[in-house]
Amino acid sequence: MKARLNFVVILRWILGLIFIISGTEKLLSPMENFLYAIQSYEIIPLQELAELIAAVFPWIELFIGVFLILGLWIRWALLGTGAMACGFIVIVGQGMIRQLPLVDCGCFGDLFHFPLWVTFALDWMILLTAYGLLRTLSRTKALSLDSWLD
């Protein structure tokens, strides 16, 4: 294994860090804060489903972030990242089209506040970054647990 630091590894860490911050903030805040953010997008009809997402989703974000930073199950973590980014794009996009009165995207809880168009752009960047990292998986795997364990 040639463990060399390269640009894609730094991108992988940045992506992981974004997810860790986002997940941790939601997990340390009352669940209702994130639940409110979900409900504000008016896309999930069932209260129970919204509650389930509010409870589970931050953990998924956190684990994906940790996996990306440590480089464990990288392919799956990147696929998960891409899937989440696609979901965010659809949810935020419909919010923009419907002109929902959203002050803030709710993605980082109370830590950072971004208007929807910034969030939309950020989600596209995450999606494209995840795609790019998947395309260069052999370089992305540098300095990773995957390359050590495989």
Partner 1 sequence: MSNINTIMRKILKKLVVTLMVILVPVLMIQGARSLSTFSQSDFSDPISRRVKGNPGAPIHIIEYIDFRCGPCAYGSRWLRNFMEEHPGEVFLEVRYYPVHLSHGALTARFAECALRQKKFWEVHDALMATQSEWIRSVNPEAKLLALAQDQGLDVVALEACWNDPKLYDQIMDVKKQGRDLGVDATPTYFVNGDMVVGARRLSDELKRIMDSEKKLPLTTEGTQ
Report, in Å, the least distance between residue 54 CB and partner 1. 10
CA atoms of 144 and 105, how far apart (whole Å): 32
What are the angstrom distances between the C-alpha of 118 and each of 8, 34, 43, 53, 122?
23, 19, 20, 23, 6
Instruction: CB nearer to partner 1: give 33 or 124.
Output: 33
Query: Does 29 engage in binding with partner 1 (CB under 8 A)?
Result: yes
Q: Which of 100, 104, 114, 134 binds partner 1 (CB under 8 A)?
A: 104
What are the angstrom distances between the C-alpha of 40 and each of 44, 80, 142, 146?
10, 24, 40, 39
Residue 83 has which token pair?
């899937």
Residue 4 exposed, middle or buried by CB count within 10 Å (0-12, 13-18, 19+): exposed
Residue 141 has phi, psi (to 5 degrees) of -80, -5
Site for partner 1 in 115-144 (CB under 8 A): none
Query: Does 147 engage in binding with partner 1 (CB under 8 A)?
Result: no
Instruction: CB nearer to partner 1: give 80 or 127.
Output: 80
Contact criterion met (CB below 8 Å) for 142 and 4: yes
The residue range among 4-12, 85-93, 103-111, 115-123 that interacts with partner 1, by the rule CB under 8 A, is 103-111
Amino acid at 131: Y
**Contact pattern from residue 52 through residue 91 relative to partner 1, giving x for each residue in contact according to CB under 8 A and a dash for the rest:** ----------xx--xx--x-xx------------------
Interacting residue ranges for partner 1, rule: CB under 8 A = 24, 27-33, 35-37, 39-40, 47, 50, 62-63, 66-67, 70, 72-73, 103-104, 106, 110, 113, 145, 149-150
